[in-house]
Amino acid sequence: MNTGILRLALEEDIGSGDVTTSACVPAYRRASGIFLAREDLVLAGLELLSEIYELRGGVESLEMLKNDGDLVRDGDVVARVVGSARTLLECERVALNFLQRLSGVATLARRFADAVRGTSCKVLDTRKTTPGLRDLEKRAAAAGGVTNHRKGLYDAILIKNNHIAAAGGVTQALAGALGLGLTVEIEVRTEAELREALAAGARQLLLDNLTPAQAHDWIGIVGGRATVELSGNITLDTVRAYAETGADFVSSGSITHSARAVDLSFRLTLLND
């Protein structure tokens, strides 16, 4: 499934050949290597290692010592590999780039999920992903404990403010969307739009850029007639307050667009020739 993006990453890094490794390391050399957590983190992307190595001819053995979604501690070994020293060195940076990026998403997702623990509210990710990495980043977010929102523009209907403007209004936008057999969610920006959407048959609402107090009041108007998602500048510092408003969901683009790459390293040991 991920062969294209992995091949692109390897080609980008190796190009016409790893000149340093070719110059320094004999082709017959064998080595073992470990992937090591250098901080506490939630792991994601580990399953990509086997495909990365296969794209460069494979390895003798690859042992996964942890699983995606695991909380690992500083100093934990998450995987062990044995094979050609050249192959391990060629793949090192690409493997770490994916592991560090995706584990960063999973780690931040876990912090969001933990922040709302004990409420009835679920945290959603968004489409604010790195181009080409959406599937991987959404899987990483899920590994961290949040719920995936729609994958793209094709699998669910989300009517936002620009759609409403282009359709000519809330009622008109909903009239074209309801009855198509897809999930339909609509963003409303005013109390008048909120009431209009409910009257027009909306059953999933997106309330954007409200304070927690405003969100609580608007959810009271909804009165259980529709599910409610809150979005807009929701951070780790504020997500609990939004979750306690009675919302069914809160969403945050920061889970994917602002996750910090976490610290994992690769350590190679030469085996006897």
CB atoms within 10 A of CB 166: 10
Number of residues that make up the chain? 273
Instruction: List Cα–Cα distances, 65 to 75, 88, 101, 264, in angstroms.
Output: 13, 18, 19, 14
Beta bridge partners of 33: 81, 268
Query: For residues 235 and 231, what is the distance between their CA atoms, to the nearest angstrom?
Result: 10
Q: How far apart are CA 230 and CA 208, in angstroms?
A: 6
Question: And the tokens for 213?
Answer: 């107090």
CA 218, 220, 224, 227 torsion-angle sign: positive
What residues are paired with 165 via a beta bridge?
A: none
Q: Which residues are catalytic?
A: 93, 128, 160, 187, 208
- Residue in the block written with tokens 């494979």: 58
Amino acid at 49: L
Residue in 84, 1, 79 with CA at minimum distance from that of residue 43: 79
Contact 51, 6 (CB under 8 A): yes
Strand order in the sheet with 184-188: 122-124, 249-251, 227-231, 204-208, 184-188, 157-159
